[in-house]
Structure formats: structure tokens, C-alpha cells
Structure 1
Amino acid sequence: MQWGARPVLDQVDLRMEPGQRLAVVGPSGAGKSTVLRLLAGLQLPTAGELRLFGEPQDYLRLDQRYPKDVRLVFQNPALLASLTVEENVGFLLMRLGRFKPSQIRERVMACLEAVGLHDVADQFPGQLSGGMQKRVSFARALVDDPDRDAEAMPLMLYDEPTAGLDPVACTRIEDLIVKTTAVANGCSVVVSHVHSTIERTAERVVLLYGGQFRWDGSIDEYRRSDNPYVQQFRTGNLHGPMQPTDH
């Protein structure tokens, strides 16, 4: 994967198993956001092959008639200020135009209940705290199309989901990542610099630096690894194989 002449991802090979919770870690500019954009179908690789659910992805998500079930939770909740919480969470179902308002409301309220926000459905995003807005974005990611194949497994993507939150709010969001992945019966990819988020949400960790995966292992292996990349990232040491970047 390249931006102009500069390689961003260089001969990376990543395979996920169904139901797995993966954390992609590394310093700023390592290529983590590019991994998410590729998985979300927002851009295509300049070389190599991308497969989602075993099928080649040759078109951008917006160009696909029936895109794969990939749900991205942005670092910024990206809620529409002029819509209520209920309308934000049910927005995509409303746009489909195939369901009665009562059907949409039932699904929306179930998702708000799952994130502990059933009592704010009529409020607007501006009336909520930053942590609550994040939880609304989780509820939005949970909403299912009633016509979705019951056997289909969504891919949940979380981009720095706890950035800028206090420790208590972080814990709540970290619990929600595990819970929403299970509720949706899917698998998840979390990009984060926050150590508690990495340790509490992931079963597997890959470390990305210089456009390449430098380490791959379980969360338990990550905690005790003596790999120099992992050790430097975990401790924040200025000395090690990873050097500062301007990107």
C-alpha cells in the first residue's frame, strides 16, 4: 500500500479467525489507520489482495451494491447534531426505507439498552457528555438490518475508541467493545494507543511499525514479550528500534 511513492504498508499479511478480537498497535504514522480504511472498504490496496469473509474486495464500499457487513466506530462519534439519539442510532435503517417506524424503534431501543443509554433516546448529541456520545456510536454500530442473514458475522472496527476519555469512561467503553462484539456475534479490530484498552479488549495483538507487522501474538504473550518493539511500545521508552516520526 502506497501514498504516492511512499510505502505505507509493505508486504503485510494479516489473517483473522471468526469471532476473534484483535488489537493493532504501534506508534503514530505506522499505518494503523490505513489498515482500518482498507478493512472498512474506504480504500483499496495498491498491490496484493484484500479478502473479507473469504471474498476478494475489488471495489470501494460505496461502489458495492451489497457491501460486506463492516461497522466502523470512529474516534470522533460522528453523530448528527440535528437528530435525536434515537434518530442517530436508527439512521441507516430509516434510509433503507423498508421498515415501519415501530420496527426501527424496537431495534434502536434494544441497542441503546445494551450500552446503558435507554433513557436518552429523545435527547440530542449536544446534551450528552463525550463518553455518552461514544456509547451512542456503539449503539449505532449494533443496529442490525432485520433482513441480514442470521449466520452472517459482522466485522467491528474501532478507531482509538478511548482517546481523550477519563479512566472510568475508558473502562466503560472497553467493556462495551467486548460486549458489542459478542452481541453482534462478530469479530473486532481495535486500533489504540491506550494500554488498558489493548489489554482489556483484545485476545490477539499485532504491532505495526514502518509499514510492517513486527510482532504478532496473544494478549498474554504481549504482556510478557521481550520483543524490542513490544517492550518499547509498552514502556514508552525513547530508546529502541522505533524512532520518532513526523507523520
Structure 2
Amino acid sequence: MKRGSFAAGFLTCLLLAGVTTTAYAAGIMAERSTHRIYVNGREVHMEAYVINGNNYVKLRDIGEQVGFNVCWDSDAKCVQVESKKPYTGEAPVTSAEAKPVEQPAQTDVATAKQDIIDCTNALRRENGVAALRVNDRLMQAAQVRADEMAAHTVYSHTRPDGRKFNTATDCPYMAENIHRIADWVLSDQTLAERAVADWSASTTHNKNMVNPKLSEIGVGLARGVNDTGDPCWYCVQLFLYDGCSVTRVDTTAMK
């Protein structure tokens, strides 16, 4: 695209529609030209004026006849010629460069669950306690607990239907940590880091994480909102006492 700025020599300001035979501006006399005008061997009609013996034609008329756009660029404060654009007499529509909308950091749920397990076992090592083993059924049960809390905005060790948390499996010998973390809290920490840090700061929750009598773990995470409507994560840790086993996992409880 070729663009150029053209000064007053083209008389874009001088040649007004109301001019008839003679125009005067700043001491310059312009008379309407009677010369015939040709473009590529074809006679065309363009309004022309004779000034000091020279013929002057409106740039817009030239653009219209030869097929390029001529317009006033209000931002650059000059006439613009676009040789590769058809004549419209109007400036091209421009839009501000679209800036990518910053998206909140995405949490990979499977990775976050494993990170919670890893952080918990790191805490146990610091306290001289054996690492917890991942129990698949306990993972399912923890997810049931997270899902039912998120579905009903119920943040409690009591299930939405009024039963205790340990009815999520057929083994009642469990311990549970729960947490509800609003998105705005996670500006400088991962979900796993925040969850384990907050549980560690609570005597009861920390006791579950480092209890040597608990040998297996399951983790559940679910998206929901808190009591004020803020988007949040419902986080669940289920721990199984050593020597116990889970053979059945309950479905999500309803109110």
C-alpha cells in the first residue's frame, strides 16, 4: 500500500463545491478550466481550475477516475492516497490492536491432586513419619465429597443429606481434611501449596496429615462457589487408618 501526504498545492481546501467560474483565496485567482481531460486515452469529466496558467484538478476526482482511494486521515491530519484500494472517498476503518485478555491460571486437577499428596508426604518426612500410600477407592470417595460440597455450597464434614463424612465409603475408619479456597486467594500460590499450607497451620488438620496411624490417602477437588458467590475450589483429603480397607464407594449425596 502506498500512502502519501499532499499539501495545499492540490487546493483541497481552496476548491469548494460552491465555486462557479472564478474563486479567490489568499490573493490567488482560480478560473474554471475549459480544457478536455483524458485518462488512459479516455475523456473524463473532472472539475479543473486554471491558476497562474496551470491546470489543477481535485485529488479526489483523480482518485475516482484512476481507481485509487483518496481520503482525509483525521489522525495524521493529512490527505492519504491508497493506490491499492478502490476509491471510496472515506478513510479505511481501523480498530485498536486487540490485546489478549489475561486469563486466570488454569489448574490441572490431576496434577493438583498429586501435588497435594506430594506436599503432604513431604510434611510427613519432615516429621519422621512414613509416606501415605495412594488408595484409588479413597481417591474416588474424596472426589465424591468434594463434588457434593461444591454442588450444594455445603462446607462441612457433614454430608448434604445429613450423614457423616465417613459414610462416603463402607469403611468408617477414616479421617478427613476439607478446605474451601477462593480463586482470588491464589494469586501467588498454587492450589496445592495453599491447601497444604493452610491445613498445616491448623492443629487438627496438621495432626491428620502427620498421624502415623493413618497410612493411605485420597484427594478430591471440585469447582464451586463459596457463601458469597466467589468462584472457589473445594478440597478434600481422606485418610484411612492402617490395616483398614475400602471395598465400596458411595455416590454423591443430595440434600
Q: TM-score range by the shorter chain?
A: under 0.3
Provide the TM-score with structure 2 as the length reference.
0.19
**Structure with the bigger percentage of helix:** 1
TM-score under structure 1 normalisation? 0.19
The structure richer in strand per residue is: 2
Structure of higher RCO (CA pairs closer than 8 Å, 6+ residues apart): 1
Q: Decide which structure has the larger Cα Rg and report it.
A: 2
